[in-house]
Amino acid sequence: MKKGIIIIVVILTAFGCRKSTSTGGIESEYPDPTAQETQLYEEVIAVHDKVMPRLGDIASLKSRIEEQIGILESNPGHDPERLAKLRNQMKALDEADEAMMAWMRQFIASYEGWKHDSIMHYLNGEKDKIEKVDEMVDNAIRQTKVLLGEE
């Protein structure tokens, strides 16, 4: 009986003295709060860096859609359904482009004076937002390529 109590005390002491490195209930591989913040910031920026070059693709696709819209509008017997699809897809490209621009305008990159929990909360929210922008950009590009017969 004494051995059982001693074992329980040792286990409780070991777990009780362990420094917690959790964020949101999940153990982190980065026990240092600054390292956690840096890692999450880098994840956010990695998604941003993935999306940025796609804005060039959006610009190129918008130019090609404008060209097709011009051709259709100059043709007296143009296909109104095709024209509507092209205009709707142009709108989707504009919205994806603007979503990225809006995200970049509002993103805060300096957290001086912020508490660790506030930084982590903010960066997790920004990661969610930029991942949605990434998805929006990818969908707009893919749908445009399908409409233009490239996929």
For residue range 104-128, what is the model confidence (pLDDT) as tens digits? 999 999 999 999 999 999 999 999 9
Residue 143 and residue 89 in contact, taking contact as beta carbons nearer than 8 Å: yes
Using CA atoms, how far apart are residues 135 and 56, in angstroms rounded to an integer? 16
Q: What is the C-alpha separation between 52 and 130, in angstroms, rounded?
A: 11
Q: 133 near 95, Cβ under 8 Å?
A: no
pLDDT of residue 10: 44
Grouping H, G, I as helix, E, B as strand and the rest as coil, residue 107 is coil
Q: Of how many residues is the chain composed?
A: 151
Query: How confident is residue 31, by pLDDT bands cut at 50, 70 and 90?
Result: confident
Model confidence band, residue 78 (pLDDT cutoffs 50, 70, 90):
confident
More confident residue, 130 or 20: 130
What distance in Å separates the CA atoms of residue 18 and residue 13, rounded to the nearest whole number? 9
25 φ, ψ (degrees, to nearest 5): 85, 0
pLDDT band for position 151 (50/70/90)?
confident
